[in-house]
């Protein structure tokens, strides 16, 4: 009986390799397939929706297996990585045909694809990153290191984040930054993994948390800015990321050029809630880019520019000088429509230079990848030329010369020329690790004389063989003789059984078939030898040359990546100019002041939507200043435009600090260190927190973290609770923002509590403003114009009518409102402060429940206490009373009435 099926030479080799990659699914190359065995097969087959079979069925312990064709492997690998798995790609590293005897072909894992290192950049959305992050949180340390590596673009950055005194490694700024980066995989020190993993999984549900052993250092790698032995937490995090990448995907790190240190303090802090509320990158509806700010802004023509713009918007700057530098770039392009148009045309040719380079650097890179890279590289000179045209034309306004922000990409002609000389324009598809005979011919004729010689030898041999059939038919007189080719047996002359007697004497039998025999001759053997030999040698040489060319091109990595960065920059600036010119945006003044002054501002996303519907967007002003008008209480009916306005102001600030122009007639933005938004309901509802709870938590964060430099946008605080609760909270929050010494954040506070307007009477830096609405008959018309003073009406019923509430309901609501406004009904619709009982009876159709109280006020013989309360009530002026005072008064009246001993 045979041994266990695990004990074959092949399975021994398999298990040996697998032992080095216990946590990865091993793709074991066998010919044109990757096979998975055992547990890997059982895990992967259902995930990939492929058949699970067994190997060595006859044996007692058949091995579960499944497989996928090599040519479609990338898609499967990507699917597994997205599901959080690692995939180890194990290739045959020698030509099976050359392996003598029965020895196994040698195999080696050439790369491991992980959720944060996907290898093939093909599947990543062009405008987004797919990052690997590493967190290094030394026990008891005062700061945590964060490194971010984007393998497909070669971007590698690291920062140190302070740990608050409390000592929680996962401090709010770190979590915030992780959410902003949104890595697919986070590396944490194994020792601390259990502690950190759960919290990380909560804030980054899309990411895989991978524990790594500290000390695994990629010391042999030389990356600018990376200091292998350093104890600095950001360097340690970078070391962890590098070591992990080097171990799993060497091609991703070999050509990394530099580690870019960055500081959170250089950019505006941006929390997930604010990004979501302002719909910067994802809309609230379905999380897509539709209707988002980035969609509006992204007029880039290359993926390089698209990613750069997204990064700019995610990290608005805090330094007026750096902002001004970008603005000059935008201004320069705004002033040059022709140049910009021409530039954008040639930029398209650059395509995704970064990712094409990353593709070329991968072990599986084929000729087509290099030809695509060549196309990109060849587009660079035209970009440089287009920019150079504007180098010295001085504009009438005196603004000439290319500003520093418009960095001209430096072409890499050596790489482009080498690729053009070496590779044919339209090479065949060559699958990774493939040694198939048809997959050659990609090296251009004339590139290397030896190759041309081999090729011509092979083709001469083939010609000779092609002519052989006719020659041998003639010589032997066998008219049906045929030249045959068999991949294993090679060339032969086939003669049917009936003609065997006429076979010439120098024929040697090679193979016997059912109805024919196959022969060879010494000449044929020689010709065949030279054809096959030449072909093989040519194929080997092609592979060798290809690899040489590839390495030579990769050695220009630094220059290529620098060119890509420059292209990203000019594409982004030109895109911002494009938006500014198209939509009439202006260059804002951004300075160190605390002013926020916007003249005729518009909402960057709503305005074009309205325009598309042929509707006007009404521009509005803003003027905030911690020393003058710090807090504006915004009232106005629902639907009047409050939310739009709040967001518009916040977005203009963000855009300004991104370096972009802004939708306004003019604007002055004193640097804002952080935009806080508390807007509408939140999606955390799905996680079981009540709207009110979420709202209060966000409010608490604003009050504790806002500074004098912040911009606070509050939309409807206190809605999720009873009216008095809500009003009191809103009131107290506004007071806090105004009164707390040293706070004084510029604040816009939209509310439906008209009572809040009273704040302006007592608080020095509070002003009222409202959105105008006009009533025509019983229709309301929103003017969308912001004017000073508080709104006096809320037009709720008119809005309800607009929304399609049945006429009978709105009519009845109007009736009830009239009574409430006349002070005759309380909030539950019951009669209360009537002066004349008969009016109540007609107005509300007084109910028996109401009837009881009716008697209290309406009868002539009221008690002295009742009369006194009535007198107070008549004199009471709600306009001049704060809600708190009103509450106190009501309490006192109730007490007096109850104390009078009257029975209702």
**CB of 367 or CB of 619, closer to ligand ADP:** 619
CA dist 658 and 587 (Å) reads 12
**CB of 639 or CB of 712, closer to ligand ADP:** 639
Window of 97-105, 461-469, 621-629, 633-641 that interacts with ligand ADP by CB under 6 A: 633-641
Contacts of residue 341, Cβ cutoff 8 Å, sequence gap at least 6: none
CB of 640 to ligand ADP, least distance (A): 4
Of residues 539, 535, 552, the one with CA closest to residue 430:
539
Window of 360-368, 418-426, 637-645, 683-691 that interacts with ligand ADP by CB under 6 A: 637-645
CB of 635 to ligand ADP, least distance (A): 9
CB of 782 to ligand ADP, least distance (A): 7
CB of 710 to ligand ADP, least distance (A): 22
**CB of 85 or CB of 642, closer to ligand ADP:** 642
Q: What is the largest CA-CA distance in the chain?
A: 145
CA dist 653 and 381 (Å) reads 37
Edge-to-edge strands, sheet with 24-30: 53-55, 63-69, 33-37, 24-30, 86-92, 107-113
Whose tokens are 């025999």? That residue is: 517
CB of 362 to ligand ADP, least distance (A): 48
Of residues 827, 825, 870, the one with CA closest to residue 847:
825
CB of 719 to ligand ADP, least distance (A): 12
**CB of 370 or CB of 639, closer to ligand ADP:** 639
Window of 68-76, 515-523, 581-589, 632-640 that interacts with ligand ADP by CB under 6 A: 632-640
CB of 794 to ligand ADP, least distance (A): 10
**CB of 453 or CB of 805, closer to ligand ADP:** 805
Of residues 758, 716, 753, the one with CA closest to residue 738:
758
Window of 19-27, 60-68, 273-281, 610-618 that interacts with ligand ADP by CB under 6 A: 610-618
Window of 300-308, 484-492, 548-556, 638-646 that interacts with ligand ADP by CB under 6 A: 638-646
Window of 28-36, 265-273, 331-339, 631-639 that interacts with ligand ADP by CB under 6 A: 631-639
Q: How far is residue 86 from each of residues 182, 634, 717, measured CA to CA in Å?
A: 19, 53, 46
Window of 420-428, 451-459, 641-649, 663-671 that interacts with ligand ADP by CB under 6 A: 641-649
Angle CA 165–168–172, to nearest 5: 95
CB of 646 to ligand ADP, least distance (A): 8
CB of 607 to ligand ADP, least distance (A): 8
CA dist 2 and 11 (Å) reads 14
CB of 127 to ligand ADP, least distance (A): 27
CA dist 346 and 350 (Å) reads 8
CB of 225 to ligand ADP, least distance (A): 46
**CB of 587 or CB of 642, closer to ligand ADP:** 642
CA dist 183 and 206 (Å) reads 8
Contacts of residue 784, Cβ cutoff 8 Å, sequence gap at least 6: 617, 618, 620, 640, 641, 771, 772
Six-digit token pair at 65? Answer: 């297996």
CB of 711 to ligand ADP, least distance (A): 18
Window of 21-29, 181-189, 499-507, 639-647 that interacts with ligand ADP by CB under 6 A: 639-647
Position 365 contacts ligand ADP (CB under 6 A) = no
CA dist 131 and 136 (Å) reads 16
**CB of 588 or CB of 637, closer to ligand ADP:** 637
Position 801 contacts ligand ADP (CB under 6 A) = no
**CB of 422 or CB of 756, closer to ligand ADP:** 756
Position 606 contacts ligand ADP (CB under 6 A) = yes
Among 121, 641, 659, 670, binds ligand ADP (CB under 6 A): 641
**CB of 208 or CB of 643, closer to ligand ADP:** 643
Whose tokens are 């002539």? That residue is: 860
Position 605 contacts ligand ADP (CB under 6 A) = no
Instruction: Please answer whether residues 584 and 645 qualify as being in contact, where contact means their C-beta atoms are separated by less than 8 angstroms.
Output: no
What number of chain residues touch ligand ADP (CB under 6 A)?
Answer: 13
CA dist 316 and 329 (Å) reads 16
* Cβ-based burial of 454 (10 A; exposed 0-12, middle 13-18, buried ≥19): buried
The pattern of x and - marking residues 642 through 681 that bind ligand ADP according to CB under 6 A reads: xxx-------------------------------------
How remote is the C-alpha of 84 from its chain's centroid?
A: 18
CB of 691 to ligand ADP, least distance (A): 17
Position 618 contacts ligand ADP (CB under 6 A) = yes
The helix-helix angle for 522-554 and 449-476 (nearest 10°) equals 160
Instruction: Please answer whether residues 686 and 720 qualify as being in contact, where contact means their C-beta atoms are separated by less than 8 angstroms.
Output: no
Position 622 contacts ligand ADP (CB under 6 A) = no
Q: How far is residue 833 from each of residues 441, 751, 838, 866, 893, measured CA to CA in Å?
A: 97, 27, 13, 12, 12
Position 638 contacts ligand ADP (CB under 6 A) = yes
CB of 406 to ligand ADP, least distance (A): 34
**CB of 458 or CB of 634, closer to ligand ADP:** 634
CB of 647 to ligand ADP, least distance (A): 8
Please report which helix (H) or strand (E) contains residue 772, including its range: strand 766-776
Window of 155-163, 184-192, 226-234, 636-644 that interacts with ligand ADP by CB under 6 A: 636-644
Among 148, 245, 639, 756, binds ligand ADP (CB under 6 A): 639
Position 617 contacts ligand ADP (CB under 6 A) = yes
Position 640 contacts ligand ADP (CB under 6 A) = yes
Of residues 331, 452, 466, the one with CA closest to residue 395:
331
**CB of 121 or CB of 641, closer to ligand ADP:** 641
Window of 81-89, 98-106, 215-223, 635-643 that interacts with ligand ADP by CB under 6 A: 635-643
CA dist 903 and 421 (Å) reads 106
Instruction: Please answer whether residues 297 and 575 qualify as being in contact, where contact means their C-beta atoms are separated by less than 8 angstroms.
Output: yes
CB of 637 to ligand ADP, least distance (A): 7
Q: How many other C-beta atoms are found inside a 10 Å radius of the C-beta of residue 856? A: 18
CA dist 63 and 852 (Å) reads 87
CA dist 270 and 287 (Å) reads 18
Of residues 322, 325, 293, the one with CA closest to residue 651:
293
Position 604 contacts ligand ADP (CB under 6 A) = no
CA dist 97 and 155 (Å) reads 41
Position 749 contacts ligand ADP (CB under 6 A) = no
CA dist 156 and 153 (Å) reads 9
CA Rg value for the chain: 38
CA dist 357 and 372 (Å) reads 9
Of residues 410, 249, 333, the one with CA closest to residue 580:
333
Instruction: Please answer whether residues 465 and 521 qualify as being in contact, where contact means their C-beta atoms are separated by less than 8 angstroms.
Output: no
How many residues appear in the chain? 904
Among 362, 518, 765, 784, binds ligand ADP (CB under 6 A): 784
CB of 786 to ligand ADP, least distance (A): 8
**CB of 235 or CB of 798, closer to ligand ADP:** 798
CB of 316 to ligand ADP, least distance (A): 23
Interface positions with ligand ADP (CB under 6 A): 606, 610, 617-618, 636, 638-644, 784
């Amino acid at each position: 009986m045979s041994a266990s099926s695990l004990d074959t030479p092949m399975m021994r080799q398999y298990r040996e390799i697998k032992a080095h990659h216990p946590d990865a699914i091993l793709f074991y190359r066998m010919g044109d397939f990757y096979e998975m065995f055992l547990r890997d097969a059982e895990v992967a087959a259902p995930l990939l929706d492929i058949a699970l079979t067994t190997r060595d069925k006859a044996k007692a312990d058949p091995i579960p297996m499944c497989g996928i064709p090599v040519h479609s492997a990338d898609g499967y690998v990507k699917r597994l990585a997205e599901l959080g798995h690692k995939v180890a790609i194990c290739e045959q590293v020698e030509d099976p045909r050359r392996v003598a005897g029965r020895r196994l072909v040698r195999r080696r894992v050439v790369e491991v694809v992980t959720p944060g290192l996907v290898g093939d950049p093909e599947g990543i959305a062009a405008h987004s990153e797919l990052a690997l992050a590493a967190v290094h949180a030394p026990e008891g340390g005062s700061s945590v290191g964060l490194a971010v590596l984007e393998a497909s673009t070669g971007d590698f950055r690291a920062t140190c984040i302070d740990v608050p005194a409390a000592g929680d490694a996962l401090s709010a700024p770190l979590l915030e930054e992780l959410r902003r980066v949104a890595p697919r995989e986070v590396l944490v020190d194994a020792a601390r993994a259990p502690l950190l993993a759960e919290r990380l999984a909560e804030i980054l549900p899309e990411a895989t948390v991978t524990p790594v052993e500290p000390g695994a250092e990629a010391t042999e790698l030389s990356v600018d800015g990376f200091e292998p032995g350093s104890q600095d937490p950001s360097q340690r995090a970078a070391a962890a990321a590098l070591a992990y990448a080097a171990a799993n995907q060497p091609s991703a790190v070999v050509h990394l050029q530099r580690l870019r240190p960055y500081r959170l303090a250089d950019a505006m802090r941006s929390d997930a809630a604010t990004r979501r509320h302002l719909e910067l990158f994802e809309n609230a509806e379905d999380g897509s880019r539709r209707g988002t700010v980035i969609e509006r802004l992204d007029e880039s023509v290359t993926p390089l520019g698209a990613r750069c713009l997204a990064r700019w918007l995610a990290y608005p700057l805090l330094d007026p000088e750096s902002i001004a530098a970008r603005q000059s770039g935008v201004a320069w392009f705004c002033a040059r429509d022709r140049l910009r148009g021409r530039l954008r045309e040639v930029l398209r040719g650059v395509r995704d230079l970064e990712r094409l380079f990353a593709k070329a650097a991968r072990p599986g890179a084929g000729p087509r990848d290099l030809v695509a890279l060549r196309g990109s590289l060849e587009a660079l000179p035209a970009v440089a030329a287009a920019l150079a045209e504007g180098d010295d034309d001085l504009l009438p306004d005196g603004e000439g010369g290319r500003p520093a922000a418009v960095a001209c990409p430096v072409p890499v002609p050596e790489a482009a020329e080498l690729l053009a000389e070496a590779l044919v324009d339209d090479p065949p598809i060559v699958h990774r690790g493939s040694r198939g005979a048809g997959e050659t011919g990609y090296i251009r004729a004339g590139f290397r004389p030896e190759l041309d010689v081999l090729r011509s030898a092979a083709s001469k041999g083939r010609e000779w063989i092609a002519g052989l059939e006719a020659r041998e038919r003639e010589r032997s007189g066998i008219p049906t003789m045929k030249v045959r080719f068999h991949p294993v047996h090679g060339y032969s002359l086939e003669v049917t059984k009936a003609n065997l007697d006429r076979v010439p004497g120098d024929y040697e039998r090679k193979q016997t078939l059912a109805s024919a025999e196959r022969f060879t001759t010494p000449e044929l053997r020689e010709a065949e030898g030279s054809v096959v030999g030449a072909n093989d040698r040519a194929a080997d040489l092609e592979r060798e040359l290809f690899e040489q060319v590839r390495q030579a091109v990769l050695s220009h990595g630094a220059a290529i990546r620098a060119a890509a960065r420059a292209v990203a920059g000019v594409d982004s600036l030109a895109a911002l100019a494009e938006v500014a010119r198209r939509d009439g945006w202006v260059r804002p003044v951004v300075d160190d002041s605390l002013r926020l002054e916007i003249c005729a501002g518009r909402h960057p996303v709503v305005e074009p939507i309205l325009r598309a519907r042929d509707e006007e967007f009404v521009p509005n002003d803003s003027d905030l200043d911690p020393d003058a008008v710090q807090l504006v209480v915004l009232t106005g009916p629902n639907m009047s435009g409050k939310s739009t306005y709040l967001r518009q102001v916040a977005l203009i600030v963000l855009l300004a600090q991104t370096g972009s122009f802004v939708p306004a007639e003019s604007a002055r933005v004193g640097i804002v260190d952080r935009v806080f938004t508390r807007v509408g309901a939140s999606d955390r509802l799905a996680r079981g927190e009540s709207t009110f709870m979420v709202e209060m938590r966000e409010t608490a964060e604003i009050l504790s973290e806002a500074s004098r430099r912040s911009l606070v946008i509050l939309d409807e605080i206190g809605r999720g609770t009873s009216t008095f609760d809500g009003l009191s909270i809103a009131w107290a929050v506004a007071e806090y923002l105004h009164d707390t010494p040293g706070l004084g954040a510029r604040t816009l506070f939209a509310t439906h509590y008209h009572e809040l307007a009273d704040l302006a009477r007592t608080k020095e830096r509070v002003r009222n403003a409202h959105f105008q609405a006009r009533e025509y008959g019983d229709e309301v018309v929103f003017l969308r114009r912001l004017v000073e003073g508080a709104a006096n009406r809320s037009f709720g019923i008119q809005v309800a009518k607009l929304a399609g509430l049945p006429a009978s309901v709105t009519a009845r609501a109007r009736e009830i409102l009239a009574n409430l406004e006349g002070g005759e009904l309380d909030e539950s619709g019951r009669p209360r402060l009537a002066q004349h009982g008969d009016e109540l009876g007609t107005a509300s159709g007084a109910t028996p429940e109401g009837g009881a109280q009716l008697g209290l006020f309406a009868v002539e013989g009221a008690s002295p206490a009742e009369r006194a309360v009535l007198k107070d009530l008549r004199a009471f002026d709600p306009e001049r009373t704060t809600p708190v005072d009103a509450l106190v008064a009501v309490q006192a009246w109730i007490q007096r009435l109850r104390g009078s001993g009257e029975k209702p």
